[in-house]
Amino acid sequence: MIDLEVPKKFRPLISQARGMAEEVFWPISRKYDRAEHEYPAELDLVSAVIDGMADGGAGQGAGAANTTRAKDDGAQEGDVAAVGSGRRSAKGEKENKNGSNLSSVLSILETCRGDVGLTLSIPRQGLGNAAIAAVASDEQKERYAGKWAAMAITEPDTGSDSGAIRTTATKDGDHYVLNGEKIFVTSGERAELVVVWATLDRSLGKQAIKSFVVRRDNPGLQLVRLEHKLGIRASDTAAFVLDDCRVPAEDLLGDPEIRIWAHGTGGDGGASGSGAGGFGGAMQTFDNTRPLVASMALGLTRASLDRTTALLADAGVVVDWDRPAHVQSAAAARLIAMEADYQNAYLLTLRAAWMADNGKPNSMEASMAKAKAGRTCVDVSLACVELAGATGYAETELLEKWARDSKILDIFEGTQQIQLLVIARRVLGYSSKELK
C-alpha cells in the first residue's frame, strides 16, 4: 500500500525545489508577470541545474520530461507494507515503489509554490515531454532526448472534447501531411518540438486519433499569435496553423494502425481498455500529466495559505490547531477549513502518481486529483485575497497574482466538468457513448 510519508530519497530534491521557489522564482515573479511574452533568462540556469541533477542521478526523475508509466509486474496492493523500501514482500513478489511520477509531483508542487508560469517555462520540462515519456518507443525517447516539447490538442471548434479533433493527418509515402489549427499551446513559441494530436480519418472519431511529434522549425507549422492572459503570464501560450505540414512517419507516437474498439471500451478519458496504439494511448498522456497539473495547483494553494497565515498572524489572528474551529475567530476557522481541503487534494494527487509508478490504471484517480486540486486552488486563492483585505488585493503582495494564476489550473488538461464526467463514467461503468 502507499506510504504517506515523503520518501527519504526524495527529500533533497524537494529541498532544492523549495529553495528554487523562494530564492529564484519569488524575486522575479512580479517582473515576468508584467513583462508578458518576455523569456525569463534566469531559467537557463535553473534548467542547467535540473539537467545536472538528472545526469548525476540526484534528480530522481523530477520534472514533466521524466514521468512515465511503470509496467504492472504483478505486485498486488496489500502484499507490501511500505513504498520504495527496496525489499521483497513475504510472498517474494516485487514491492511497490516510488518513481518518477511521485518525485515529479512533489518537486513541481514546490516550484509552483514559487510561480506556476515560471515552472511551465523551464526548458525541456513541457507537457509534451510528458506525452513523449508516456507513449513513445525507446528509440523515439532517445531521439527526442534533451528537446523541449509542447503539446497541441485544443482547437477552436473542439473545446474540451479531445475526441472531436479536426486536424487531419494524411499518409503520403514515408510522411504524414497535417492540416488544421491548434490553440492554447503552452510554451508553443519557445519549445523545440510540438506534440500535435490529429485524426487519420474523421469518420472514425476517437479511434483514428494519433499524436505526432512536429519540429518547431517545420515550415508547415505556422505561429499565428501569442495569447494575452489573465494569469501565468511568464508562460507563453501560442496558436498555430498547420498548412500541409509534412511529418516523417517515424515521428508518429505509438501504433500507426487504426484499431477498432469493441463496444464499451476506450474513449472515456483514460487509456484503459483501448490499447496504447490509438486514442487510448494518446489519452494515457493525461493519466500522467493530470497529477502534475494537480501538483501545480497544490503548490499555488500552499503558497496562498502560508502567506495568508503569516499576514493574519502579524495582525494578531493565530490558528490554534488543537482547538475546534467553531471556538476560534472566523478567519482562523476559515484557514482550518482551507487547510483540510488542501490535505484532501494532496493525498488524492499522491495516490494518482503512486499508482502510475506501480503500473496501476489511474485514469479515475488522476481525474479526481485534478478536479479536487484545481477547484481547491481557485477557492483558496480567492479566499486568501479576501482574508488579507486591501493587502491581498494590492500588488505589494503576490496574493492577487496567485489568484489570477489559479483559474487556469482548473481549466487546462481537462476542465472541472470533464474531470467529473470521466470520474462518473469510471464509477458507474459507462462508456463515453453511454454517458455524455
d(CA 373, CA 165): 27
CB contact set of 257 (below 8 Å; sequence gap of 6+): 277
d(CA 218, CA 260): 32
d(CA 103, CA 122): 17
Clarify whether 413 is annotated catalytic.
yes
d(CA 309, CA 304): 8
Contact yes or no for 433/269 (Cβ under 8 A): no
Q: What's the one-letter identity of residue 268?
A: D
Length of the chain: 436
Q: What are phi and psi of 169, to 5 degrees?
A: -130, 115
Which is the catalytic residue, given 181, 365, 397, 413?
413
Neighbours of 343 (CB within 10 A): 12
Q: Which long-range contacts (CB under 8 A, 24 or more apart) does 404-407 make?
A: 404/230, 404/231, 405/115, 405/116, 405/117, 405/231, 405/232, 405/300, 405/381, 406/231, 406/297, 406/300, 406/377, 406/378, 406/381, 406/382, 407/230, 407/231, 407/378
**C-alpha count within 13 angstroms, C-beta hemisphere, residue 408:** 20
d(CA 378, CA 214): 34
Active-site annotation, residues: 413
